Amino acid sequence: MRKCGILLHPTSLPSAYGIGDLGKGALDFIDFLHRGNQKIWQTLPIGPTSFGDSPYQSFSAFAGNFYLISPDILVTEGLLCQKDVLNIPNFSTTKVEYGNVIDYKTKLFKQAFSNFKPNKAFKTFCTENEFWLEDYSLFSALKDYYIEKRQLEYESKEFKAFCSKTKSIMPENLQKDYYYGGVWSTWDKDLVSRVPAALKAMRTQLSKPIEYYKFLQYKFFQQWTAVKTYANNNQIEIIGDIPIFVAYDSSDVWANQHLFKLNSKSFPTEVAGVPPDYFSQTGQLWGNPLYNWTEHKKDGYSWWINRIKSLLSNADIIRIDHFRGFESNYCIPFQNDDATVGTWKKGPGKKLFDAIKKEISILPIIAEDLGVITPEVIMLRESIKSPGMKILQFAFDNSENNTYLPHNFEKNCVVYTGTHDNDTSIGWYNSTSDDCRDYFRRYMNTDGASPQWDLIRLAIASCANIAIYPLQDVLGLDESARMNTPGIMANNWQWRFTSSMLKEEYSQNLFYLSKVFRR
Q: Helix-strand-coil percent breakdown of the chain, rounded to 5?
A: 45, 15, 40
Distance CA 72, CA 81 (A): 10
208 contact partners, CB below 8 Å, separation of at least 6: none
Annotated catalytic residue 454:
no
Sequence-distant contacts of 324-329: CB under 8 A, at least 24 apart = 324/369, 324/371, 324/372, 324/373, 324/374, 324/377, 325/244, 325/245, 325/272, 326/244, 326/352, 326/353, 326/380, 327/374, 327/376, 327/377, 327/380, 328/374, 328/376, 328/377, 329/244, 329/272, 329/290
Catalytic residue among 321, 327, 369, 454: 321
The closest alpha carbon to 396, from 375, 417, 411, belongs to 417
Question: Quick check: is 438 catalytic?
Answer: no
Residue 355 dihedral angles phi and psi, to the nearest 5°: -65, -40
Is 277 a known active-site residue? no
Q: Contact, 132 vs 62, CB < 8 A?
A: yes
Contact indicator for 27, 62 with CB cutoff of 8 Å: no
Distance, first Cα to last Cα, the chain: 8
Point out the catalytic residue in the list 21, 368, 369, 423: 368
The three-state DSSP-derived secondary structure of 121-170 is HHHHHHHHCHHHHHHHHHHHHHHHHHHHHHHCCCCCHHHHHHHHHHCCCC
**Active-site hit among 72, 249, 270, 421:** 421
Which residue numbers are catalytic? 321, 368, 421
